[in-house]
Amino acid sequence: MSGDDDQQEHTIADDLVVTKYKMGADIANQALKVVTEAAKPGVSVLSLCEKGDAFITAETGKVFKKEKEIKKGIAFPTCVSVNNCVCHFSPLKSDPDYTLKDGDLVKIDLGVHVDGFISNIANSFVVGDAPVTGRKADVIKAAHLCAEAALRLVKPGNQNTQVTEAWNKIAQSFKCMAVEGMLSHQLKQHVIDGEKTIIQNPTDQQRKDHEKAEFEVHEVYAVDVLISTGEGKARDSGQRTTVYKRDPSKQYGLKMKTSRVFFSEVERRFDAMPFTLRAFEDESKARLGVVECAKHELLQPFTVLHEKEGEYVAQFKFTVLLMANGPLRITSGSFDPELYKSEHEVQDPELKHKSRLSAAIFKTQCKTVTFHSLTFFNR
């Protein structure tokens, strides 16, 4: 069932919905761990993306096996974006690949859904075991602390603008910039890009246009932090787009048979979830079929974006359920602050308290359950 066909909205007020979110989150957390552990020098990005997607497909196939009508699987294809690549790099077999090197700053981004209830996650780290210093340490620490501060701020009664301002202050404390105009979205069943959003580092025009919103009980958000050592401007680098999602609001009579066959498979297999062209048996036909679909906006592209060469971008993303008794973070990757030696720290006393408190709780929790974190926050 697609989001536009649903008559009744299912929320986390329902215990079964919460269970489905948690099931997806558990798989997402494990998938991130699997891909992270495989990210060694000499390993290709393509192989990591394939590993993540294969793990998600296999593990979601083990849940609700008797309920054939319940769809589950990849909610966002595994993307591995390195150094100044901001996001959405998930190459095809026919594309130029990238081989990881010691010292690369790696961002892994993926998502899982169970019955359309989406759990997204992203994490950043540097390849190799040595402590990280300099600008890589600055940007990773800034992004991590932004995520931890957001966990304290994304709660019922607060405004999305409070998060935006906090991120700007934290990033600036580390001589970094939040990536301009990037959005964190509310999640709903079958909907990865809900109407309420948090904007990063908006331009004056974006600030005027962006809708202010208050967080409410029983909402779900994918909080997505992207911080840069550079100007914070993400640009289309001209690399092939491989990740798309169907726009249920758009209709068009496709002219080419290849396009019609391709789009029919998209509707059947992915509904309105993001997908990768790599998921199609015949990549060449998929590359051909997607052109007409994207041209007429039946599909929305997730463009591969880059910051300036020589800069670094870090990303942390978590999914949070705004429960009646407090926010519940259901996805998180591991983070060891002792590995990142920055000369900077958060200057704002209140933000320092929020980010450190969240980080301290998370660090304590990670000693027992590194990747399976379900944390309530009532403060």
182-238: per-residue pLDDT in tens? 999 999 999 999 999 999 999 999 999 999 999 999 999 999 999 999 999 999 989
Average pLDDT over all residues of the chain: 93
What pLDDT does 269 receive?
97
Ranges in the chain annotated CATH 3.90.230.10: 15-240+306-376
Task: Inform me whether the pLDDT recorded for 285 exceeds 70.
Answer: yes
> Higher-confidence residue: 283 or 371?
283
1-30: per-residue pLDDT in tens? 444 444 688 999 999 999 999 999 999 999
Ranges in the chain annotated CATH 1.10.10.10: 243-300
| 354 pLDDT tier (thresholds 50, 70, 90) | low
Burial degree of 182 (CB within 10 A; 0-12, 13-18, 19+) = buried
Rounded to two decimals, the pTM is 0.92
The CA–CA distances, whole Å, from 134 to 131, 173, 283 equal 10, 14, 41
Considering the four listed CATH numbers 1.10.220.10, 3.30.70.2470, 1.10.10.10, 3.40.1280.10, the one that applies to the domain covering 243-300 is: 1.10.10.10
How many distinct helices (H) and strands (E) make up the chain?
Answer: 8, 18
Residues 6+ apart with CB under 8 A from 349: none
361-371: per-residue pLDDT in tens? 445 444 433 33
Task: Inform me whether the pLDDT recorded for 286 exceeds 80.
Answer: yes
Task: Inform me whether the pLDDT recorded for 41 exceeds 60.
Answer: yes
Fold of 15-240+306-376: Creatine Amidinohydrolase (3.90.230)
Maximum separation of any 2 CA atoms in the chain, in Å: 61
| Averaged pLDDT, 357-378 | 45
Q: Phi, psi (5° rounding) for residue 362? A: -65, -40
